[in-house]
Amino acid sequence: MSTSSNLQDFVTQVRRDILRQVHKVNSGHPGGSLGCAEFFSVLFKEVLETKDEFNMNGEDEDLFFLSNGHISPVYYSVLARSGYFPFEELNTFRHINSRLQGHPTTHEGLPGVRIASGSLGQGMSVAIGAALTKKLNKDKHLVYSLHGDGELQEGQNWEAIMYASGKKVDNLIATVDYNGQQIDGSTDDVLPMGDLKAKFEAFGWLVLEEDKGNDIDAVRNILKEAKSKTGQGQPVVILLKTVMGNGVDFMMHTHAWHGKAPNDEQLEIGLNQNPETLGDY
């Protein structure tokens, strides 16, 4: 396991990558990406049990599915800096014919990406299907997924959530990025979801909550706890409270940076708040 200070350096570099990617093409989604930097870093650097060489089969290894695919900048950064592909390829983000499209795709064969995502609400169903496949194959590894809180307004999620508990899909750990923001405003203003903990519990899930979703040790501990709860007849969900735009002061706590790129001056401010640690691309 890496030390918290080393992983913090990694997180800081990921934030720089996110800002540089969206600035370069004046397009993309920095807010949620910045808010999930700690989660992705801990998951890929310490939690996921994967093979040295990526393959789409995913047999005998843990799997991860990103449902809220618009936060691709953080996904691509962590994949690249974890050795899935050269980090210089981050320069091609959202370019025509690039493997790094605005929402992850599979037709270009980007290592680390197993589903095209971004049509919100579908990732839960995919993760459940993968988890059931592992059960049928007697594969003891786990399936992890990440979902935006706003995308839980999509009805397909709740059919899948009901199915997962009904079929005892207890090799699944779903995490909700619980930042309270979506593209048009706060989730409470757009469509209040009420008590998510009570809802998941009513649907038969084991629910864990973590209010410090941007603290490396807290993320590490909640993922460890979630893993310890698998195999007990219930799917597990983590309600992870994060801050949209975390690490860049003028982007924090607002939906305004859900899908807006920084200009030249704003980029420099953001980079100065996150000093280079591992080397830019």
Q: What is the spatial distance between Cα 15 and Cα 30, in angstroms, rounded to a whole number?
A: 9
State the pLDDT at residue 2.
Answer: 65
Sequence-ordered list of residues with C-beta below 8 angstroms from that of 138, at least 6 positions apart, any chain: none
**Is residue 158, in this structure, part of any structural domain at all?**
yes
Please state, in angstroms and rounded to a whole number, the distance separating the CA atoms of residues 212 and 194: 20
Residue 279 lies in a domain: no
Say which residues have a Cβ less than 8 Å from residue 202's Cβ, sequence separation at least 6. Answer: none
| Distance in angstroms (rounded) separating the CA atoms of residues 107 and 281 | 25
Q: Flag whether 277 is in a domain.
A: no
- Cβ atoms of 245 and 259 within 8 Å: the answer is no
Amino acid of residue 106: T
Q: Give the structural domain span for 113.
A: 4-272
Mean pLDDT by 10 residues, the chain (281 residues): 83 98 98 98 98 95 98 98 96 96 94 93 97 98 98 96 98 98 93 96 98 98 98 98 98 96 98 93 85
Residue type at position 160: A
In this structure, the chain runs to a length of 281
- pLDDT for the residue 1: 54
Residue type, 163: Y
- Identify the CA nearest to 46 among candidates 15, 77, 82, 89: 82
Q: Quick one: angle between helices 4-25 and 264-272, nearest 10? A: 180
What is the pLDDT at residue 230?
98
Choose among 27, 41, 67: nearest CA to 220. 41
In a domain, 280, yes or no: no
How many domains is the chain partitioned into structurally?
1
Residue 281 lies in a domain: no
Given this model, what pLDDT does residue 204 score? 98
- Find tokens 């590894």 and name the residue: 141
Q: Which two tokens stand for residue 217?
A: 């040790």
* Gyration radius (Cα) of the chain, Å: 18
Whole-prediction pTM = 0.96
Q: Does residue 166 lie in a domain region?
A: yes
278 domain-assigned:
no
The answer to whether residue 147 is domain-embedded is yes
Give the CATH number of the domain where residue 180 resides: 3.40.50.970
Quick one: the chain helix, strand, coil %, rounded to 5? Answer: 45, 10, 45
Within 10 A of 174 (CB to CB), how many other CB atoms are there?
29
CA–CA gap between residue 201 and residue 175 (Å, rounded): 14
